[in-house]
Amino acid sequence: MNPVLLGLIAGVLGLAVGVSGVLAYVSSRRQRQELAANDDPAIPNGAAEVLAAIGRAYIVVDAVDGVVRASPGAYALGLVRGHTLVPPELLAMTSRVRRDGVIEERQLELQRGPLGQGSTILQVRVATVGEEYILILADDHTEIARTEEVRNDFVANVSHELKTPVGAISLLSEALDDAAGDEEAVRRFAARMSKESARLTSLVQDIIELSRLQSTDMVDRAREVDLNQLVAEAVEANRLPAENRKTTVVVGGSVDGAVYGDAKMLTTAFRNLIDNAIRYSPEGSRVGIGLRSRDGMAQVSVTDQGPGINPEDQERIFERFYRIDSARSRHTGGTGLGLSIVKHVVSNHGGEVNLWSQPGQGSTFTVRLPEMESAEPSAEKQQQSDAAGARARKATPPAGGGTREQGVSA
């Protein structure tokens, strides 16, 4: 055969093979694109944009509960792992909705994480979308549920705490009426009634104070305040309780910069801290108050010589109505709200309150608040501070080696 003809035939065959390969590649690519398009959830147009804008975690699952779409929030809440819907409660809900075609909405409490440390409260709504898909919407209500629980506990505790002194006053009034002819018994019952009445008054005042703190806008009432003066006023307010328990209140140091805040709220917080230290210190002991400025923060520490606090109780000491020893609290007259008020006030001022305590070694509560300025005091302020210290030393005789004392009773 003619070599030229053979070459021509071979060229035609090669061209045919090449064209066939290109056509096969184009056909394969088109099939892959069609398969990929078929894998996308057949949800109505615009639904994806709406889901992204509603601000709730969402999940779209197919006919076998495989996850085909999920928001980042769904992964963050631990509802989805890979392409799997994790919580069995959600799987049960999707199964019912798929079977009945009826929208279902429930509140679920789910374990947080695979180890079950803590829980998450979710408001979940499950509905069909398109022809074969199920949509799950989840809203995190954990904080809402926690707040509601705290509110309910607070109401229950208030009711219990109010019932105790009110019941005592009622019984004592009956006993007082029955003992009208016994002068000694009348005096004894009257003294008990006076004590219970004072306890009731203190509890009501603390409840009102806590309610006022929660509803007060600190920004409207905040001013430049001098913590040295506020602490001195808090010490003076506790002078009588300190004298009754023969407790010496010792104040040392000073704060250089001013603090931006509500003077009345801060004075209440320091008064409660000092009152707490006096109540739980043995009679005839000493309560120390230290003031200092460090790294732009004003620091006030209140140290007592009380029995100390166990580590397991220290985490709860700032909870409302929490008492380490209820019998001792009744004896000292504490309401269980003082430290809660302290923490609330300090938090409102952008500060923090910390506790150091060991059983048998007393406790130290330290309040740290941001100062308005961290510069050293001017010469004029330093002279005023020295003059104030001299007046305090002159007004109150030094004790314990010349340490300055206020609210003193020895």
Task: List the CATH number of the domain containing 181.
Answer: 1.10.287.130
Name the percent of the chain lying above pLDDT 90: 21
Summarize the confidence of residues 42-56 as an average pLDDT.
Answer: 68
Q: Residue 403's pLDDT is what? A: 35
In the predicted model, is pLDDT for residue 276 greater than 80? yes
Q: Residue 250's pLDDT is what? A: 92
Query: Do 264 and 392 have their domain in common?
Result: yes
Alpha-carbon 169 to chain mean position: 36
Q: Residue 94's pLDDT is what? A: 93
Residue 309's SS3 state is coil
Write the pLDDT tens digit of every residue in 161-190. Answer: 677 777 778 888 888 888 877 888 888 888
| Inside any domain, residue 146 | no
Query: Do 319 and 229 have their domain in common?
Result: yes
The DSSP letter of residue 6 is H
Summarize the confidence of residues 285-296 as an average pLDDT.
Answer: 92
CA distance 59 to 71: 7
Domain boundary among 215, 246, 263: 215
Instruction: Tell me the C-alpha to C-alpha distance, in Å, between residue 82 and each of 78, 86, 126, 338.
Output: 10, 10, 20, 49
Q: Residue 383's pLDDT is what? A: 54
Task: Please give the model's pTM, rounded to 2 decimal places.
Answer: 0.49
Summarize the confidence of residues 251-278 as an average pLDDT.
Answer: 90
- Name residues whose C-beta falls within 8 Å of residue 301's C-beta, 6 or more positions apart in sequence: 288, 289, 290, 291, 364, 365, 366, 367
> Among 147, 113, 114, 138, which residue's Cα sits nearest to residue 54?
138
In the predicted model, is pLDDT for residue 322 greater than 80? no
In the predicted model, is pLDDT for residue 52 greater than 80? no
Domain boundary among 215, 231, 259: 215
Residue 61's SS3 state is strand
Query: Do 336 and 224 have their domain in common?
Result: yes
Write the pLDDT tens digit of every residue in 326-370. Answer: 444 444 445 567 788 888 888 888 888 988 988 888 899 999 998
Torsion of CA 25, 28, 30, 33, to 10 degrees: -130
* Mean pLDDT for the chain overall: 75
Domain boundary among 189, 215, 241: 215
Domain that holds residue 96: 54-140
Number of domains into which the chain is organized: 3
Query: Do 93 and 182 have their domain in common?
Result: no
Summarize the confidence of residues 147-172 as an average pLDDT.
Answer: 70
